[in-house]
Each structure stands twice: as C-alpha cells, then as structure tokens.
Amino acid sequence: MSHKIVNLRVRDVRFPTSLEQHGSDAMHTDPDYSAAYVVLDTDSGLKGFGLTFTLGKGTEIVLCAVKALAGLVIGKSLQEIVSNFRGFYRLLTSDGQMRWLGPEKGVIHLATAAVLNAVWDLWARAEGKPLWKLLVDMKCSVTKTLCHAPSVFILLLDILVKAQEGKKQREDQMLKEGYPAYTTSCAWLGYSDQQLKQLCSDALKSGWTRFKVKVGADLEDDIRRCRLIRQMIGPSSTLMIDANQRWDVAEAISWVSRLAEVKPLWIEEPTSPDDILGHAAISKALAPLGIGVATGEQCHNRVMFKQFLQASALQFVQIDSCRLGSVNENLAVLLMAYKFQVPVCPHAGGVGLCELVQHLILFDYICVSADLRNRMCEYVDHLHEHFTSPVVIQDAHYMPPKDPGYSCEMLEESVNRHEYPEGDIWKQEIKK
Ligand SMILES: C[C@H](O)[C@@H](O)[C@@H](O)[C@H](O)C(=O)O
Ligand SMILES: [Mg+2]
C-alpha cells in the first residue's frame, strides 16, 4: 500500500508547567512545555504523528512554518518519500525561497523536525514496528542513504558494517535490561531545597543513580544546592550540572571551577550554543578538573556538530529529536560522534522528547556505538500521561518501546484540553 498523504494538520498544544516551575533553568525561568503537534492523514487511513518542542509563547510561529511546508508533503506517498528519503529531506530544507528563513536553523528547522518526525512515525507504523526496530532491521546500505551527512564523512558505511557484529546480543540485552537513564526532574532551578531533597530521596528509592542539577543564576545558591544533592546521592552516584548558556567563557570557567568540589561529570551549555571555540576553551580549561563539556539541545544542525567535534569543543554530544531535522539528521550526528569517539547522551528535557529520543539512542547502541561507557539518556518525569505509548522506565533504564511508530501520538483528549488558546486548561488560566 502506498499511503498517500492527503492532509497535514498542526496544533498548538501547551501545558502550564511554569505554574509549578517544572523545567525551569537559569535562562528559561517559566517554561510552559509545549509542542507544535503534527498529524498526517493518508488515503489508507493510517496516520503519522510528530511534534517539535517549544516553551509556550511563539508556538504559533512554528505552526505557521509547518503550514508553509505542508504543500511539499501533501500529495506525496510514503513509498515515494522513503524510496528517496534524502531527496525528500533536501526538498523540505532547500526550497529556493523558504531556505532563506534558515537555512536549517531556527523556527523553520523546528518545523522541518515536526513534519519529518510525523513521516518517520508513519513509516514505522506502516511497517508495524517501533521506530528503533525499523532502524535496527534496515540494511546498512539503506541506513546510509537516509542520513544527511557532510560529504567528508564517507566512512559511514564502514561504521555501520563493523557494528553488525554482536548486534543481536545487544538488541536482546536492551530488551532485557533497557538503556541507562539519568534524571533531571529532581532539581529544576525553581524548586526549593525542601522539594529537591524530597524528590532526590524518592528517586534514590526508585533506583536512580545519575542526577542533573540546574545552575548558573547565583553562585552561592549553586554551591549550596550542589552540595546538598551530592550529600544525598553519595560519592558513587553521577552528578551533572547544566547552566543553559548563562555565562560568557571566562565566567563559565571560574564558576564551574568553584563547583568542582561536587565532582560533576559535565557542565552542560556553559555559554552561547553558537560559540564553538568558546566551548573548546572551556573544555580545555576544565579538563584538568575532570569535568567535560556537554551541549547540543540548541545546536542548530549537523554542520555545527561537525565543527564542535572537529574543534574538541565537547566531550558529550546531546542530540535532540526535535531541533535537528528528525531521524535523518540525527543519524548523521550519531555517526560523526562515533567517528570522533565522543559519547552521545541525548537531550530529553521537554514534552515528548523522552518518548522520541529513546528510539534513537537504542539504535545508537545496537547499531553504532556498541558501548555504554559514559553513556546515558536524559529522563524527565513530566507529562508522559498525555501520550498513547508513554515511555517505560524500569530501575532507571528506558525499556524499548514495543508499539509501532515513534511514540509521540498524544491522547486526543489531552490535545483538546491543552490546545492554545481554546482548550479548557487555557480558558481557565485566562479567566484567572
Ligand atoms: C527549558 C527546559 O526545561 C530546559 O531547561 C531543559 O531542556 C534542559 O536544558 C535539559 O537539559 O533538560
Ligand atoms: Mg540542558
């Protein structure tokens, strides 16, 4: 069946997470976790669901961008798209007029991600497999044609072929044990010390051993909060800190040096996400303290990642399922990270990001890296109840999803209630 796409709908879905300071950090003090949510209808009745993540205001701009891309998608069959997926990716990102809005960055690229995520979901559903399994079962030569990689990296096929060895064992291992995760949801910046202690002790009881803390607004607060959490989790648990771009380069080095006593594994987004050489300077300065630099959640595209890797400007690659051009571009980044032997630890702090990115990291382990050292996938404990196939966490591990698709279909009732501004949730909020 060809599954011709006959319609594309996009909706503005917002959750009022700022009311309880969920997701807050040094730069985003009041995020309302939101999404531009895309549904593709086909002539066969099969649907594809995709999204890109936003923080509330401005989601309407992403919706406009998705609508601008719709004409490139409607009328195409799934078969036509996947038989030349790289060509379709180029069609979306290289329109002679629209590419001026990016290219491949900002709102238009978020829109590309939402649309392509829905196409990948449709493909996986058509094959009756969860997306990670669709990728794992693909022939290496096919995988290579999907990913949108810079031409310098022609060794991609070799990497994939090499990783065929032991693939079945790794898949079985994942199905049994799951992929290791860390939690960010104990220590958002707007949480009180009391809340932080409570959440941390609950998380320890549920088996969590890796924790991320938000920092960057006030040094004395950071020292107190980081000491508190290190004391609670003990010396053998892993701690990461995340400044969400708050500092300039010199400030980042001195601030993080003051936090070195709590032994963070990484400092995430210490400075502007575009400052590749700044990240390289920070990496160099912090290496003697045993602290790495992590970044990626606001890295526009694969070309930026290529330069970060070439400049030794990061020690942990944080791919993002909704900022890069979907699976296609993320595959390119996974392969480049492997080439540079830098571990991938995906970003998932948002709505739906955990659901999506678990598929990519499973593929990375089974078919690319074959390594779990220094690797873990972010987890936040928010809003999973709004999805038809929510993530399953067992003993701080992501258990591989079993339902066909890319796991980002939302419950119709949740979408209706949270649609902005007409949904009940927002009508009530506006009345207050
Ligand atoms: C506004 C968001 O919650 C961010 O703080 C979040 O994505 C974060 O940077 C993370 O690493 O999870
Ligand atoms: Mg972050």
The reply to whether 395 falls in a domain is: yes
List pLDDT tens digits, range 42-98: 999 999 999 999 999 999 999 999 999 999 999 999 999 999 999 999 999 999 999
Per the rule left: phi > 0, alpha: psi between -120 and 50, beta: everything else, 366 is alpha
Q: Which two tokens stand for residue 364?
A: 């990375």
Indicate if 283 and 397 belong to the same structural domain: yes
Residue 184 CA: nearest ligand 1 atom is: 12
- Tell me the catalytic residues: 214, 347
Atom 11 of ligand 1: nearest residue by CA position? 349
- Spell out the long-range contacts of 93-98 with Cβ–Cβ below 8 A and sequence spacing 24 or more: 93/325, 98/68, 98/69
Indicate if 123 and 192 belong to the same structural domain: no
The finding on whether 183 has its CB within 6 A of some atom of ligand 1 is no
Indicate if 225 and 263 belong to the same structural domain: yes
SS3 of residue 311 by DSSP: coil
Indicate if 172 and 117 belong to the same structural domain: no
Mean of pLDDT over the chain: 96
- pLDDT value, residue 429: 73
Indicate if 256 and 313 belong to the same structural domain: yes
Indicate if 107 and 210 belong to the same structural domain: no
Indicate if 252 and 162 belong to the same structural domain: yes
The reply to whether 151 falls in a domain is: no
- pLDDT value, residue 150: 52
Indicate if 175 and 73 belong to the same structural domain: no
Indicate if 112 and 166 belong to the same structural domain: no
% residues pLDDT > 70 (the chain): 97
Indicate if 258 and 308 belong to the same structural domain: yes
How many other β-carbons are positioned within 10 Å of the β-carbon of residue 388? 15
Q: Is 214 exposed, middle or buried (0-12, 13-18, 19+ CB in 10 A)?
A: buried
CATH no. for residue 39?
A: 3.30.390.10
Select from 309, 305, 258 the least CA-distant residue to 286. Answer: 258
List pLDDT tens digits, range 26-52: 999 999 999 999 999 999 999 999 999
Residue 25 CA: nearest ligand 1 atom is: 5
* Separation of alpha carbons 17 and 308, rounded Å: 32
Indicate if 265 and 313 belong to the same structural domain: yes
Q: Is 72 exposed, middle or buried (0-12, 13-18, 19+ CB in 10 A)?
A: middle
Pocket test for ligand 1, best of 213, 244, 269 (most atoms within 8 A of CB): 244
Domain total of the chain: 2
List pLDDT tens digits, range 116-127: 999 999 999 999
Indicate if 112 and 218 belong to the same structural domain: no
Atom 7 of ligand 1: nearest residue by CA position? 349
Q: Considering every ligand atom, which ligand is closest to the CA of 348? A: 1
List pLDDT tens digits, range 365-374: 999 999 999 9
The reply to whether 427 falls in a domain is: no
Domain that holds residue 185: 156-412
- pLDDT value, residue 146: 76
The finding on whether 244 has its CB within 6 A of some atom of ligand 1 is yes
Per the rule left: phi > 0, alpha: psi between -120 and 50, beta: everything else, 3 is left
CATH no. for residue 335?
A: 3.20.20.120
* Separation of alpha carbons 225 and 263, rounded Å: 13
Q: Considering every ligand atom, which ligand is closest to the CA of 31? A: 1
Residue 144 has pLDDT above 90, yes or no: no
Of the residues 108, 128, 148, the one at which a domain ends: 128
Residue 152 has pLDDT above 50, yes or no: no
List pLDDT tens digits, range 165-203: 899 999 999 999 999 999 999 999 999 999 999 999 999
With bands split at pLDDT 50, 70 and 90, how would you rate the model's confidence at 400?
very high
Residue 279 has pLDDT above 80, yes or no: yes
DSSP 60: H
The reply to whether 140 falls in a domain is: no
CB 60 within 8 Å of CB 36: no
Of the residues 91, 108, 128, the one at which a domain ends: 128
The finding on whether 297 has its CB within 6 A of some atom of ligand 1 is yes
Can you give 253-275 as a three-state secondary structure string?
Answer: HHHHHHCHHHCCCEEECCCCCCC
The reply to whether 92 falls in a domain is: yes
Residue 380 CA: nearest ligand 1 atom is: 12
% residues pLDDT > 90 (the chain): 92
Spacing, Cα 242 to ligand 1 middle (Å):
8
The reply to whether 333 falls in a domain is: yes
The finding on whether 296 has its CB within 6 A of some atom of ligand 1 is no
